Structure 1
Amino acid sequence: MAKDTASTIDLYSADLPVEKDTTFTTTVKATQETQVNAVLTFDDNSTETIKGDKKAGEDWTTITYDLSKFEGKDIRKIAYELTTKENADSYKLYFGNITMTAEKEKTAEVSKVTADDVEFDEDGLYAGVRLSWESSQPASYYEVYRVNQDKSLSLLGVSNTECFYINTLPRTDETNKSEFMVVPVTNTMEKGKSASTTIEWPDNSLPKAGAKASQTLVGPGSSITFESGCSQNTENITWKLPGSSQESAEGDSVTATYDKEGIYDVTVTAKNESGEDTKTLTGCIVVSSDLAKDCELALLSQGKAAEATAFTNENEAPQFAVDGDITKKWCATGTPPHDLTIDLGKEMTVSQIALSHAEAGGEGADMNTKAYTISVSADGTEYTPVVTVTKNTAGETLDTFAPVNARYVKLSVVKPTQGSDSAARIYEVQVYGSETPVL
């Protein structure tokens, strides 16, 4: 920008009638003090430069232009003339809003905000909330806020209808309550009277214990790493690992060696200042002399018969989940759950299952399976659940469990994706264990 030298920017073609009550405002900010004049071309081909009532600066400024003497004309083009009082080698002007309106829109009044449905995750740390409300008249849109503990507001989203869904709302304070405020807004961004509602969170002050083993079926002399699966509010973790090199241990992760053949329990205790929770995984570890020290388990499922409750077409059929090819998948649509059942051909000892979800096959992470269960059966009729996952986000998962003899393994995709898509996408299911039953 050159000092006191006007620069003109053409922005829009238009067909806007100027009426008696038409108002024209522009909200801008600039890196230098700037005179921002409107340059309007009318339907009679005349062009008028209209001086703004304020100068633009580093803060957002709303400038008003007087259109009263142009009543009856139609605006065909909108441009702006910019002038600075100083030279500027690097100059920026930001347009925040341009408004022309002939009649002031009435603001609405929101009432009766209701939490129609609330669902919490198992740790009480996240919630899904469905809100609805009434409005004295339709608003251009509604802003939905969370009222924080310090009374500040966090915008959750905008709705153009009288309802709104909040997905995975995080718990952010210690009050066991969350307040939501709905604000009606006009086309000219004037806010009407708001209304609020409150939900109650479950008391999650007590921790929840949980654990995961790197492997549950091993040979004598093998080492196993145990990882905490305790809730996020856990402050201290202790372990009891009878039959191992570490009968007792502390920490998020512990590695122990099992020298003698046998079946062993694992107990984990989660503690914080509010109390403690203990979980015992009965028969979690099986040490068998039929297996070598630190050996890799056999892949039992590849190439075996598979069937499903549904699949999209022959190119995404159940057998592609057990073919060893990560570029092919089993895909099922419709209302979940979607079941995939693998027949191992005979009874074997099963102890862990690896799954390749959508991301592993090159699709988006939002398509990864969020919730699923794994069940096993000896006869294909009576199934026993061995794995339940409710909040997975990963593209590849490995679930270990207490070894069990089974011929059939069933994967039930309960929530197929991270969002609302109901299609299951499983690129590979790998069942591991021992071909010869060791139990």
Structure 2
Amino acid sequence: MERPQFSRFLPSYRWIIDNEGKNKISPSFDFANAYNGGNSLKFMAEHLDAGKSSNITLFASDLKIDKGAKFSVSMRSDQALKVSAILELANGQKVSIAGDKSLTENWSEISFDVKKFEGQTIKKIGLSIKSDQAMDFKGINLGEMTLTNGQKVAPIALSDAKVTDEAFEEEGTVGGFRLSWKSDATKNNLSTYEIYQLNDDGNKEFLGASNINAFFVNALKRGKNINSTKFEIVPINKAGESGHSVTTSVKWPDNSLAKAAFVADKTLVTIGEKVTLMNQSNLASVKYKWEIDGASPATSTEKNPQVSFDKAGSYSVKLTAINEKGQEDSVTQTELITVIDQPVELTIFALNQSVQVDSFTNESESGPKAVDGKLNTKWCAVGPGKHNITIDLGKSEKINQVLIDHAQKGGESPDMNTSDYTIEISKDNQNWTEVVNVKKNKLGETKDSFKQTEARYVRITATKPTQGADTAVRLYEIQVLGQKYS
């Protein structure tokens, strides 16, 4: 005889309630007051008269009561209640069996003695609730109903738990982990595996359940000053009993070190024009030291300083990032800023140029649509993989900026904006240099500036095409800008 649970089987009668007196009950599903991680059935007692019953018919069934059978429910109530099982037998007899204890505000197992009905078959199952005192607007929750044949179910033992795969994001503050383990469970005794996170304070947090020997922990947030996280896998047999559990752990990467990174809002300017240096150092960086050749000011401790230059030329920028312990990390971009002694006029080089793409959905969403100067057309590619588009500018040009119109600029949802992408440049379509690497973009329109460089080819690769799991890239327009040769 299998062991039914409300987490698996919904009532076949929804909802048949017979009330005595002025009793009034409203049934629903309760996800806030869940039993064993999922939900529960909630019966809101809008009013119960003292001593009056409400009978709730739940299941049609064809279950034989074998020798040694045990019948119970897991329930709770905001106010003390008596509960009885109402069984309709195959011989037409309708019986009421009082529970061995009253309901309280805590979840508890209420058992019903079915010994004298051994050999009978149950055709309907219901419950009857009664309060010794009047009730108004109190909740009653039913979490699980169990009918077993009294036979012992073998306990389950686990071994060899491992973290078989791991991935870290957001500077090591969020992780994803695949857990696996060995089990001696059989299909006749396994109910589920429960997975918990074991915390340093001795408590454990339920992460989920699996019916196979593996589980993926998705987007787990790292706690403050946590260097490792321990997981416990608990086997549950069909009697609801926990077996021999196993544990495994994962080490988080050291993210206490500073890591310097920055970009400029523009890299080709005229004399006196302001340039904003935008800090992209990691979260561990708390202080900054800038050194900018030929700039005013030439040094700064601001996070995102603005500088200008009073002479034409090419100038390097150095950023030193410092963590809370005073440890430093530096990065220098040589000749990042080009200053000219005339007004800056950027030329668009990509318009209607030849392109190559790794794939596209159809002719109306092919690669050339991304450089046709229109925002009502797009290049779209679907399926797995890192989709890319390569633009041939026709000849080598001095380029320093790429503008991209993503899904939102074309009228689609912001969730479709490209999250992560790289920009590479090349003179020969064979040797490539990465000049831009963007992560976690949310904007519908992006402007990426880089050191002015001669190149003929520009390749954009969408490494994470959307904000979510959608793998389709949608680029409405790409502009490659730079300084026209005189």
> Does TM, normalized by the shorter one, top 0.5?
yes
Matched, 1:362 2:425: no
Alignment check: 8 A CA contact 1:321 1:426 kept: no
AA aligned opposite 2:176: G
* Structure 1 residue 402, shift from structure 2 partner: 1.8
In the aligned structure 2, how far is the partner of 1:2 from the partner of 1:225?
73
Match of 2:42 in 1: none
Q: Secondary structure at the match of 1:140?
A: strand
Superimposed CA distance per residue, residues 45-93 of structure 1 (whole angstroms, 9 cap, x where no aligned partner):
3222221112112222221112222222222222221222332331321
1:258/1:22 Cα in 2 relative to 1: closer, same or farther (>3 Å)? farther
Alignment check: 8 A CA contact 2:284 2:324 kept: no
| Residue ranges of structure 1 left out of the alignment (5+ in a row) | none
1:257/1:112 Cα in 2 relative to 1: closer, same or farther (>3 Å)? same
Pick which of 16-25 and 354-363 moved more.
Answer: 354-363
In the aligned structure 1, how far is the partner of 2:95 from the partner of 2:379?
66
Q: Within 5 A, what are the aligned runs for 1:94-243?
A: 94-102=141-149, 103-121=151-169, 123-138=171-186, 139-174=190-225, 176-243=227-294
Match of 2:456 in 1: 407
In the aligned structure 2, how far is the partner of 1:73 from the partner of 1:364?
62
Match of 2:34 in 1: none
Match of 2:39 in 1: none
* Structure 1 residue 134, shift from structure 2 partner: 0.5
Alignment check: 8 A CA contact 1:119 1:128 kept: yes
AA aligned opposite 1:362: E
Match of 1:28 in 2: 75
In the aligned structure 2, how far is the partner of 1:300 from the partner of 1:428?
16
* Structure 1 residue 419, shift from structure 2 partner: 6.5
Matched, 1:283 2:335: yes
In the aligned structure 1, how far is the partner of 2:378 from the partner of 2:156?
51
* Structure 1 residue 113, shift from structure 2 partner: 0.7
1:81/1:402 Cα in 2 relative to 1: closer, same or farther (>3 Å)? same
1:320/1:187 Cα in 2 relative to 1: closer, same or farther (>3 Å)? farther
Pick which of 338-347 and 328-337 moved more.
Answer: 328-337
Pick which of 393-402 and 237-246 moved more.
Answer: 393-402
* Structure 1 residue 173, shift from structure 2 partner: 4.8
In the aligned structure 1, how far is the partner of 2:95 from the partner of 2:227?
60
In the aligned structure 2, how far is the partner of 1:279 from the partner of 1:308?
33
In the aligned structure 2, how far is the partner of 1:2 from the partner of 1:56?
17
* Structure 1 residue 135, shift from structure 2 partner: 0.9
Q: Secondary structure at the match of 2:116?
A: helix
In the aligned structure 2, how far is the partner of 1:286 from the partner of 1:110?
64
| Residue ranges of structure 2 left out of the alignment (5+ in a row) | 1-47
Counterpart pick for 1:254 among 302, 305, 318:
305
Q: Secondary structure at the match of 1:411?
A: strand
Q: Within 5 A, what are the aligned runs for 1:9-88?
A: 9-88=56-135
**What is the aligned-residue RMSD (CA, Å)?**
2.8
AA aligned opposite 2:94: T
In the aligned structure 2, how far is the partner of 1:126 from the partner of 1:165?
14
AA aligned opposite 2:312: E
Match of 2:362 in 1: 313
Counterpart pick for 1:347 among 393, 396, 405:
396
* Structure 1 residue 153, shift from structure 2 partner: 1.9
Counterpart pick for 2:380 among 326, 331, 340:
331
Alignment check: 8 A CA contact 1:369 1:424 kept: no
Q: Secondary structure at the match of 1:127?
A: strand
How many residues are aligned here? 432
The TM-score normalised by the length of structure 1 is 0.87
Superimposed CA distance per residue, residues 284-325 of structure 1 (whole angstroms, 9 cap, x where no aligned partner):
222334534xx8x55543444322111232243223333455
1:74/1:217 Cα in 2 relative to 1: closer, same or farther (>3 Å)? farther
In the aligned structure 1, how far is the partner of 2:99 from the partner of 2:235?
30
Superimposed CA distance per residue, residues 222-268 of structure 1 (whole angstroms, 9 cap, x where no aligned partner):
22222321111222222223333322222333223344432222222
Superimposed CA distance per residue, residues 149-204 of structure 1 (whole angstroms, 9 cap, x where no aligned partner):
33332333322111123334333253533322211122443221111123333333
* Structure 1 residue 111, shift from structure 2 partner: 0.7
Identity in percent: 34
* Structure 1 residue 375, shift from structure 2 partner: 0.7
Alignment check: 8 A CA contact 1:217 1:433 kept: no
In the aligned structure 2, how far is the partner of 1:432 from the partner of 1:105?
69
Alignment check: 8 A CA contact 2:369 2:477 kept: no
* Structure 1 residue 278, shift from structure 2 partner: 0.9
The TM-score normalised by the length of structure 2 is 0.80
1:175/1:33 Cα in 2 relative to 1: closer, same or farther (>3 Å)? closer
* Structure 1 residue 429, shift from structure 2 partner: 4.3
1:116/1:418 Cα in 2 relative to 1: closer, same or farther (>3 Å)? farther
Match of 2:484 in 1: 436
Pick which of 326-335 and 271-280 moved more.
Answer: 326-335
Q: Secondary structure at the match of 1:69?
A: helix
In the aligned structure 2, how far is the partner of 1:335 from the partner of 1:65?
55
Match of 1:376 in 2: 425
* Structure 1 residue 99, shift from structure 2 partner: 2.0
Pick which of 68-77 and 410-419 moved more.
Answer: 410-419
1:30/1:317 Cα in 2 relative to 1: closer, same or farther (>3 Å)? same
AA aligned opposite 1:283: E
In the aligned structure 2, how far is the partner of 1:327 from the partner of 1:417?
19
AA aligned opposite 2:431: E
